[in-house]
Structure 1
Amino acid sequence: MRVLEGIKVLDFGRFIAGPFCSALLADYGADVIRIDRTGGGEDRHIMPVTAQGEGALFLQVNRNKRSMTLDLDSPEGRDIVRKLVAGADVVIANVPPRTLRNLGLDYDSLCSIKPDIILVASSAFGSSESVRDRVGFDGVGQALSGAVHIAGTPDHPQKAMVPVVDFGTALSCALGVMLALYERQRSGMGQEVSASLLCTGLNMASGALIEEALLGLDREAMRNRAPTYAPSDIFKARNGWFITQVIGRPMFKRWTDLVGRPELLDDPRFADDTLRGENGAFLSEVMSQWCADKTLAEAQDFLEKARIPAGPVNSPRQALQDEIIKTADVIHWIDYPGAPTKVPLIAAPVSLSRTPPEIHTRPPLTGEHTDEILAGIGLDAKAITDLRARKII
């Protein structure tokens, strides 16, 4: 039996934070129904990769789900939502509170239908009245947190080009669901789980924020160098780039021996991690000279033997071909209608030894399971045909 078998989830989420949360629940056995607007959601077609235009991220965050289409603004659509909520355990909707209320998906409305329901309502900025209805995306969370300022260069800030804040928020929401389900077993009561892109971004940048609050260093961007230890940078070998990070005196000693500069170990400029970070430009230059005549494979082999963390800077193509990634067995290749080849879906980032997560069904086509889902709440074929004719579904 899978961990969440028997748990029913209604997913009104869009983009990443909501849908990836529900995808993780589905990986562990929850029955997740994605509620798409008639015609399909706007998040389905970002980075299109299939003949129908499904987007790359849509495929990743919507595996293991069923999809139905529904006009949420119609009285009939609202009635269907109420029937679905009556049989659900969790509702996920990463939209502003005002939109939740307009759709009848706010916690009070849901509780009036099913008192022990759990609502997962992540937002951009949190629940404070002054910011709760503001809109925002992953990049805004990154930028506000201070993380973008300390990346890139002083003249050109740089955000992460992958949505780290969105995925981090989704993981937090999934944890929140599990906590709420666990607590419900004792109290018999549901509750609202909330998270925000802003709080996720601030957590990720918390080290820099605490340092600034206590020491007031007003750090500037240092490209790929770390400010508090070194050498930590991205370096160029003969045939490619790699990253390495040296932290602590024992590792620094192994590094000085590796690069043939043992005298640096007792140089007062490099007496501890903080000083090494402050003088990181010099140490990066030493490392750059050491690896300039080596192939990527040679450099990595030397670093691994010295027990110094290192890895190649892969392009997406190289990542798919990387032997370490292949050996880790975290990519699941699935067939999808209209895709030119199999789709690589990435496994859930946490596994369990007895009841592991599983990607067992492909992401759904728009409304693929509408009839099946409506039949499950008691509608007959004639009623379903009528709803479709009136564009309710």
Structure 2
Amino acid sequence: MTGSDPAARRPLGDLCVVEFASFVAGPSAGMGLAQLGAEVVRIDPLGGGNDHLRWPVAANGASLYWASLNKGKRSVTVDVRSAAGRELVTALATAGSGIFLDNAVGQRWLSYEVLSARRPDLVHVRVQGHRDGRPAVDYTVNAEVGVPQLTGPESMEAPVNHVLPAWDLLTGATAAVGLLSAVHERSVTGRGAHLEIALADVALAGVANLGWLADAELTGRDRPRLGNHVYGSFGTDFATADGQRLMVVALTEKQWRALCRVTATEEVFRALEVALDADLDSESERYRLRETIVAVLRPWFAARTLDELADQLDVARVLWSPYRTMRQAAARFASDEDEVVRHVDQPGIGRMLAAGSPLRWSGGGLPPQAAPRLGADTAEVLSSLLGLTDADLGRLHDEGVIRLENRMTA
């Protein structure tokens, strides 16, 4: 790590991670490591894996999803159905730094036992659906832990799935932490490690860590749906005079008092406290009387435009945000002045918004990088990590194990 320029920082610059994973959890783990300077080599089947053309896509059909989750990596494509292709993947997994990240559940040829026999100090992290090997995705494990029954309007009876694959992203982040922990342990002990992380376990731990499971067990009842109300505190959405909506939250006593001051409702709420024998400085009391509070505040918000509210709420230091569409959110970054999100020139797509690491080092953030074209680094990676010669590469191309662009266009 040199200098104070954030772009020059590569704290993981001495690590090479080989990734053989698809969809969100595994690739997001690899992306996070790449954004911190690790050389991350992503392996895909020839022509791309199941996620290579996943939506959203650009006008030409190229996957914005794939490009966004594979920023800063190197791309290798191999015929993984052939014996020679599997040998290449096995060799890459145990080469370089000896760090392998995959979600190849049930693939005996990529088991830790097989790989560690070739490299005893291997660090192998495997992402699973369920810990017993059964498949799962974010939307199925979210259903299993009860979140869709808490989501949506109070009048809804059917479960409401979330749009954001939160458990996938959290699994990826946890996998990256586990991988770095194992690498640190190896630097001290010399021992390799095999870590498994199941998406279902991450979801289960998530709701348990928030106290939701304990609450259901101890009270003997399910939490009700609350729409946009914040559970256990005061927070909800309000409509504005110009047809917009905003979210206002008062978790703390200071935030609650700021909201009362800016809305000139301090006397009203003092009178309500007397009448209802309540203390609205208490978070739980604000939650209990949330509908009464909303009824008092709603006219004040409805009488003002969003711009007027923004000025007054910001000056008063109220905790709030406007509701935006995704298009409105994207428009905020058109100027490329943000430290996290800005445009990159993505091969096969063109100019597109992409995110760098959200970690901010002294001096600023780490800017985003483009993703590689599928298979663009095959020859270079096989040469540098495995020592293959041009003749070796040509033979593998002729046998259909790899594809070399210069030979395909010759």
Amino acid at match of 1:233: T
Change (3 A) 1:237 1:145: same
Show the counterpart of 2:47: 39
Show the counterpart of 1:229: 233
Give 3-state SS (helix, strand or coil) of 1:195's partner.
strand
Deviates more, 1:80-89 or 1:177-186: 80-89
Q: Distance in 2 between matches of 1:50 and 1:256?
A: 47
Amino acid at match of 2:394: T
Which of 86, 95, 100 does residue 91 from structure 1 map onto?
Answer: 100
Show the counterpart of 1:311: 321
Show the counterpart of 1:392: 401
Q: Is the 8 A contact 1:26 1:64 kept in 2?
A: yes
Give 3-state SS (helix, strand or coil) of 2:100's partner.
strand
Q: Distance in 2 between matches of 1:105 and 1:52?
A: 35
Give 3-state SS (helix, strand or coil) of 1:243's partner.
strand
Deviates more, 1:275-284 or 1:113-122: 275-284
Give 3-state SS (helix, strand or coil) of 1:43's partner.
coil
Q: Cα offset for 1:33?
A: 0.9
The answer to whether the aligner puts 1:165 opposite 2:174 as a matched pair is: no
Which of 210, 215, 224 does residue 214 from structure 2 map onto?
Answer: 210
Q: Is the 8 A contact 1:243 1:311 kept in 2?
A: yes
Identity of aligned residues (%): 26
The answer to whether the aligner puts 1:302 opposite 2:312 as a matched pair is: yes
Which of 110, 123, 133 does residue 128 from structure 2 map onto?
Answer: 123
Q: Distance in 2 between matches of 1:51 and 1:218?
A: 45
Q: Cα offset for 1:336?
A: 1.6
CA RMSD in angstroms comes to: 2.3
Change (3 A) 1:322 1:34: same
Which of 173, 189, 192 does residue 191 from structure 2 map onto?
Answer: 189
Q: Is the 8 A contact 1:3 1:355 kept in 2?
A: no
Q: How many residues align?
A: 381
Which of 91, 105, 111 does residue 106 from structure 1 map onto?
Answer: 111
Q: Cα offset for 1:378?
A: 2.2
Give 3-state SS (helix, strand or coil) of 1:111's partner.
helix
Q: Distance in 2 between matches of 1:86 and 1:121?
A: 14
Q: Is the 8 A contact 1:264 1:270 kept in 2?
A: no
Q: Is the 8 A contact 1:51 1:338 kept in 2?
A: no
Show the counterpart of 1:129: none
Q: Distance in 1 between matches of 2:111 and 2:345?
A: 37
Q: Distance in 2 between matches of 1:62 and 1:80?
A: 21
- Relative to its length, the structure with more strand (as a share) is 2
Q: Is the 8 A contact 1:85 1:113 kept in 2?
A: no
Show the counterpart of 2:62: 54
Q: Is the 8 A contact 2:347 2:371 kept in 1?
A: no
Deviates more, 1:171-180 or 1:43-52: 43-52
Q: Distance in 2 between matches of 1:156 and 1:224?
A: 17
Q: When the two structures are superposed, what TM-score results if normalisation uses the length of structure 1?
A: 0.90
Structure 1 unaligned blocks of 5 or more: 127-131
The superposition leaves residues 1-44 of structure 1 with CA deviations (integer Å, 9 ceiling, x where unpaired) of 32111211111010110011011111111111111101111101
Q: Cα offset for 1:317?
A: 1.4
Change (3 A) 1:213 1:300: farther
Amino acid at match of 2:392: A
Q: Distance in 1 between matches of 2:326 and 2:294?
A: 26
Q: Cα offset for 1:245?
A: 0.8
Q: When the two structures are superposed, what TM-score results if normalisation uses the length of structure 2?
A: 0.86
Change (3 A) 1:323 1:145: same
Q: Is the 8 A contact 1:227 1:280 kept in 2?
A: no
Give 3-state SS (helix, strand or coil) of 1:42's partner.
coil
Show the counterpart of 2:18: 10
Q: Cα offset for 1:221?
A: 0.9
Which of 156, 176, 183 does residue 174 from structure 1 map onto?
Answer: 176
The answer to whether the aligner puts 1:21 opposite 2:37 as a matched pair is: no
Show the counterpart of 1:70: 78
Give 3-state SS (helix, strand or coil) of 1:173's partner.
helix
Amino acid at match of 1:85: A
